[in-house]
């Protein structure tokens, strides 16, 4: 008698990738060291000044156990773009958000056939699925941040744009900062800074739904009170003189001072990473005004309600 094949009786073993942990072993993979912590690293300006045209990623993926591609943090990739006069660079990242800050130079970007002229000090953000050709009229350096690593980790590609390409001209950014500095309440504020925003992201008050961008002034003699947040900061140093620095540490004492801090000395057009959850404060002992441009994944953290920003109490 022939065997009868009954529909639905075939079984496939789907348990091959299943794993089980006792709670205390796997409840905190970062604290246990199973997942590497984000290191405090610097990207000196000389590294991007060594080439005339090209993209130089601030790549820390090796130390983060990220094997899918370059990354400065688990969610973000910061790069420097150098373009010689008359040369061009094309960008087409698989990202939901791109932010550009023009450190120096002038030129034009053709974004899906549309023309954007830019100059030193400008910011602009681009949404998902943009193919862009950047052409320099004069020697150009840009700071470029995307959320490519986040999308690679999720195994996704964006389906549509969440905001429009938006230009923040240097003159307007500096005018907004000047108004903040001139305010009678300026001396009472923890930061003298402009936060950039695009209208579709008014809920989080951030420049994109993932990225957060600040243009900040550190006045002469400033001693900025420490603060911390769960977002990663990819800090670009603007104009400054020797004597500007950031202190970073894991805790603060009863006076609100950082305990056993690491010192990061500023250099114009360099970048450094401020890891999540660490207390940090900026100091200006140079005798000249200084500027700092942090780019964070705080748009995403703010939406998730996980930013957890905290400020040290006022000095006594």
Of 157, 164, 52, 149, nearest in space to 111 by CA: 164
- State how far the Cα of 182 lies from the Cα of 32, in Å rounded to an integer: 48
Residue 10 lies in a domain: no
Residue 9 lies in a domain: no
pLDDT-derived band at 9 (thresholds 50, 70, 90) equals low
Q: Is 129 left (phi over 0), alpha (psi -120 to 50) or beta?
A: left
pTM above 0.85, yes or no: yes
Three-state DSSP class for residue 77: strand
pLDDT recorded at residue 52: 97
Higher pLDDT, 6 or 291: 291
Tens digit of each residue's pLDDT (9 = 90 or more) over 130-149: 999 999 999 999 999 999 99
Read off φ and ψ for residue 51, nearest 5 degrees: -120, 160
At 307, list the tokens.
């930013």
pLDDT recorded at residue 314: 78
Of 236, 118, 114, nearest in space to 170 by CA: 118
Residue 106 lies in a domain: yes
- Give the distance, in angstroms, between the CA of residue 303 and the centroid of all CA atoms in the same chain: 16
Looking at the chain, the whole-number percentage of residues with pLDDT higher than 70 is: 95
- State how far the Cα of 131 lies from the Cα of 113, in Å rounded to an integer: 9
Residue 25 lies in a domain: no
Do 232 and 273 contact (CB within 8 A), yes or no? yes
Do 162 and 206 contact (CB within 8 A), yes or no? no
For the domain that residue 291 is a member of, what is the CATH number? 2.60.120.10
Taking residues 237-250, report their average pLDDT. 97
Of 251, 213, 225, nearest in space to 316 by CA: 225
Helices (H), 27-86: 29-32, 45-49
Domain with 53, as residue range(s), is 37-311
pLDDT recorded at residue 183: 86
Euclidean distance between the first and final Cα of the chain, in Å?
94
Of 77, 88, 80, 78, nearest in space to 132 by CA: 88
- Check pLDDT > 70 for residue 101: yes
Residue 301 lies in a domain: yes
pLDDT recorded at residue 8: 56
pLDDT-derived band at 59 (thresholds 50, 70, 90) equals very high
Residue 16 lies in a domain: no
Residue 12 lies in a domain: no
- Give the distance, in angstroms, between the CA of residue 214 and the centroid of all CA atoms in the same chain: 10
Q: Write the DSSP assignment of 149-170 as a string of letters.
A: HHHHHHT----S-SS--EEE-H
Residue 3 lies in a domain: no
Give the count of domains, the chain.
1
pLDDT recorded at residue 51: 96
């Amino acid at each position: 008698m022939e065997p009868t094949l009954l529909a639905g009786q075939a079984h496939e073993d789907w348990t091959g990738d299943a794993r089980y942990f006792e709670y205390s072993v796997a409840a905190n993979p970062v604290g246990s060291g199973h997942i590497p912590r984000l290191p405090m690293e610097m990207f000196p300006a000389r590294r991007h000044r060594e080439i005339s045209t090209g993209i130089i990623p601030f790549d820390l993926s090796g130390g983060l156990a990220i094997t899918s591609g370059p990354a400065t943090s688990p969610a973000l990739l910061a790069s420097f773009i150098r373009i010689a006069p008359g040369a061009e660079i094309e960008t087409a990242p698989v990202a939901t958000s791109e932010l550009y800050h023009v450190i120096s130079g002038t030129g034009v970007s053709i974004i899906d056939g549309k023309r954007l002229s830019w100059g030193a000090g400008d910011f602009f953000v681009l949404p998902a699925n943009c193919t862009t050709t950047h052409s320099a009229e004069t020697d150009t350096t840009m700071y470029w941040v995307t959320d490519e690593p986040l999308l690679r980790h999720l195994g996704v590609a964006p389906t549509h744009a969440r905001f429009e390409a938006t230009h923040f001209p240097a003159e307007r950014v500096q005018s907004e900062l000047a108004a903040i500095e001139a305010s009678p309440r300026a001396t009472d504020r923890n930061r003298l800074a402009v936060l950039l925003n695009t209208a579709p992201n008014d809920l989080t008050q951030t420049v994109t739904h993932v990225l957060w961008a600040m243009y900040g002034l550190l006045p002469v003699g400033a001693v900025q009170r420490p603060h911390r947040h769960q977002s990663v900061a990819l800090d670009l140093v603007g104009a400054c003189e020797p004597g500007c620095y950031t202190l970073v540490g894991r805790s603060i004492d009863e006076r609100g001072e950082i305990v056993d801090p690491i010192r990061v000395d500023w250099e114009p057009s360099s970048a450094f990473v401020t890891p999540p959850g660490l207390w940090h404060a900026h100091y200006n002992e140079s005798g000249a005004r200084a500027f700092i441009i942090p780019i964070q994944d705080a748009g995403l953290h703010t939406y998730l309600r996980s930013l957890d920003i905290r400020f040290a109490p006022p000095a006594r």
